[in-house]
Amino acid sequence: MKLKDWLKVNRKFFLERDLRYLMRNLYPQVPSFYFELDSCLDGDKLAYLDRVKSLYIKGMPLAYILGKEEFFGLEFIISQDCFIPRKETELIVEKAIKLIKEHSFKYILDLGCGCANIAISIKKNVESEDVIIFASDISYKALCIAKKNLSLHSLDIPLIRADLLAGFKKASLDMIVANPPYVEERYIYGSLLYEPRIALQASERGLFFIKKILLEAHYYLKEKGYLILEIASYHKDYLEEFVVNLKTYQFVEWIKDYSNLFRGLILRVRKYG
């Protein structure tokens, strides 16, 4: 069977982005799989594609099937022990990199790092040896995946097992970047069932961890340090009021995603009113 014939039959089962990523993994040496449309699939390639398709149509995310995912132009090792990096989170990373460069920040924390995609992407793009990034997570298994990714990208980033900010020195960080769990249990279905609950689910309508970070982060940030949080768009109004009532942060920016939905929040510490 030729690749074009397999695609004709099976293309309908895949999201286009996933199909393209699958093809890039099948033919990593060519600039586009379109150059291989007339090539014949040998037994190994055909068996591989059939296995991927079988798992994919059951709902398993392609990242878990392949054991890898792209983020911020980099490739990351992925397993079901960690959350799959999302395209929207790249917008959070872009903002973080810009602020780090503008303010010459030195001490950065990727809080709840998972596979360490945020920490690694920042470190690879700030272009400064002076920037020291820490990556923390409560999950030992997620930190094991993070360690593999640090090795993959030849980086030395301290990995810390901690429950949020426990154990960090107060007033020591220039920036905290976090993509905390913020999904309500009722929204966890379909492909999300394959991802670790600890990285997804939060009580209090999805706000438990975000609120906890907001209540604690200013103690660990230097005066005028920055907190960048990924959020669910429907939390925006509540969080706006919550932050105003805290009186410990200044609003810097609301980040919108590719669908023009609110996806992130940038705050600056205002410890003394």
Would you call 113 helix, strand, or coil by DSSP?
coil
- CA atoms in the 13 A half-sphere facing the CB of 166: 7
Range among 68-72, 166-170, 269-273 rated most confident: 68-72
**Is the predicted pLDDT of residue 271 greater than 90, yes or no?**
no
Q: Which is the catalytic residue, given 14, 117, 168, 179?
A: 179
pLDDT at 37: 86
User: Which ranges of the chain would DSSP assign to H, the alpha helix?
Assistant: 3-10, 16-26, 43-57, 62-66, 89-103, 117-125, 140-152, 197-200, 203-206, 208-220, 236-246
Q: Which is the catalytic residue, given 83, 168, 209, 262?
A: 83
Contact 77, 45 (CB under 8 A): no
Q: What is the CA radius of gyration of the chain?
A: 20
- pLDDT (mean) for 185-204: 97
Contact 87, 118 (CB under 8 A): no
- List, in order, residues 6 or more apart from 242 with CB less than 8 Å away: 211, 214
Residue with tokens 């970047």: 177
Is 31 one of the annotated active-site residues of the chain?
no
Is 179 one of the annotated active-site residues of the chain?
yes
**Is the predicted pLDDT of residue 66 greater than 80, yes or no?**
yes
**Residue 208 DSSP one-character state:** H
The distance in angstroms from the start CA to the end CA of the chain is 69
Closest CA to 173 of 200, 130, 128, 134: 134
- How far apart are the C-alpha atoms of 193 and 59, rounded to whole Å? 9
Percent of the chain that is helix, strand, coil (3-state, to 5) = 45, 20, 35
Q: Which is the catalytic residue, given 76, 180, 181, 209?
A: 180
- Percent of all residues in the chain with a pLDDT value above 70, rounded to a whole number: 99
> pLDDT tens across 104-158, in order?
999 999 999 999 999 999 999 998 899 999 999 999 999 999 999 999 999 999 9
User: Amino acid letter at 137?
Assistant: D
Q: What is the DSSP string of 62-76?
A: HHHHHTEEEETTEEE
pLDDT at 273: 45
Is 180 one of the annotated active-site residues of the chain?
yes
